Structure 1
């Protein structure tokens, strides 16, 4: 199961939907915070969940006391 055409259709649809939701959320949140929204939005479309985790650590600084 290494080729994209071997993935079940429902799984492919789910992964594409999650990437679109993640990219959209990253774009909108970065735009609200004036933090390179196009960069975060496009990177959010490429993979799941690495861009989201990096965004939360770099922009939102969730490791600090008080978090978001």
Structure 2
């Protein structure tokens, strides 16, 4: 493993963990499958945030 790969992993881990925590906490507050969102946020970035915004956050708004 090269130094660049190690640094990429070191930089990606906090981003993924922060995203997963945000999705889990916000989905739990809204009652919308928190474990699903948290796990999906832990293995992908940034697609879960985009999908979460349009499926959970945006549908809860009043027009």
TM-score class, shorter:
0.7 to 0.9
Report how many residues are paired.
Answer: 61
Unaligned runs of 5+ in 1: none
Which of structures 1 and 2 has the larger relative contact order (alpha carbons within 8 angstroms, sep 6+)?
Answer: 2
Using the size of structure 2 for normalisation, the TM-score is 0.83
Aligned residue among 15, 19, 22 for 1:22 = 19
Which runs of 4 or more aligned residues in structure 1 lie more than 4 Å from their structure 2 counterparts after TM superposition?
A: none
Query: Structure 1-normalised TM-score?
Result: 0.77
Shift of 1:7: 6.0
1:35 is paired with a residue whose SS is: coil
Q: Mind listing any 5+ residue stretches in structure 2 that lack a counterpart?
A: none
